[in-house]
Amino acid sequence: MLEFGQHSPYQTFAALHHRLLHRPADYGAVSLLGQAVSDVLDSGCPDEEVQKVIADLEAARATGKEGELNDAKWELPLTSLLGLLNQNMHNRAVGAAALNPKSPTLRDKVLAAIDAGVDTPSAIGAEVCSPTTIVSLVLGDLVDEGQIEPAEPIEDQYQRSYRRAEAGDQGAKSEAVAAEGEAVAAEGEAVAAEGEAVAAEGEAVAAEGEAVAAEDEGPEVYG
């Protein structure tokens, strides 16, 4: 937590970059701006603050293209810093995906590793830069979906190797899922038919009740 009087790296950058960009783009000014950007990245600040730095520098570069900066030579340093920041955001996204077993990107990488002959959780984890425990969760999901299967019956899930499921196995699983769906649908139709029968019986009872009521309301007979 920041103590009183201290500023976050982004706050320091925000206060500094406006002043620097009004100076000539000499070695000292460019170095100071680069250090301010580096401090933001090295501090491990949240993505939102990195996005703010990117937005500030993109606005400054747009201003430079309109000829409003003190020195047009700022465009090249600004472009370089923006490239560094965007690469950092990309790396952050890749790192977050590597820790999310539901990430489509990670799942695709795991399948690509298996296709390339990398078949154990630890080896796949090293290949895709993801922890073995996360890779094991992905593999479990892919097995449940019928996309892959254990290559050999080893109890230790971290030493077990995997391969793409045979087409026949995938077809059988798909057929089983389809059959289960049809059974559920048939059961639903049976319940609906039973409901219609109960409704028809209720209507018949109601009609009979109306007939009895009409008979009771017939003309009175006087003696």
Highest mean pLDDT among 39-53, 143-157, 176-190, 199-213: 39-53
Of 148, 88, 72, 135, the C-alpha closest to 109 is 135
The CA-based angle 34-78-73, given to 5 degrees, is 105
Q: What share of the chain is helix, strand, coil (3-state, %, to 5)?
A: 70, 5, 25
Distance, in Å, from the CA atom of 27 to the CA atom of 31, rounded to the nearest integer, reads 6
Least confident of 6-10, 113-117, 158-162, 177-181: 177-181
Average pLDDT over the chain, rounded to an integer = 81
> Angle 75-98/27-42 helices, nearest 10 degrees?
10
Q: Any residues with CB less than 8 A from the CB of 99 and at least 6 apart, and which?
A: 130, 131, 134
Residue 33, classified by CB atoms within 10 Å of its CB into exposed (0-12), middle (13-18) or buried (19+), is: buried
**Mean pLDDT of the 178-197 span:** 67
What's the pTM value of the predicted model, to 2 decimals? 0.57
Contact 32, 45 (CB under 8 A): no
As a whole-number percent, the residues of the chain with pLDDT over 90 amount to 46
Helix runs in 66-150, H state only:
75-98, 104-115, 121-128, 132-144
Task: Say whether pLDDT at 223 is over 50.
Answer: no
The CA-based angle 126-132-134, given to 5 degrees, is 120
Q: What would the pLDDT profile of 93-128 be if each residue is shown by its tens digit? A: 989 999 999 999 999 999 999 999 999 999 999 999
**Mean pLDDT of the 200-214 span:** 62
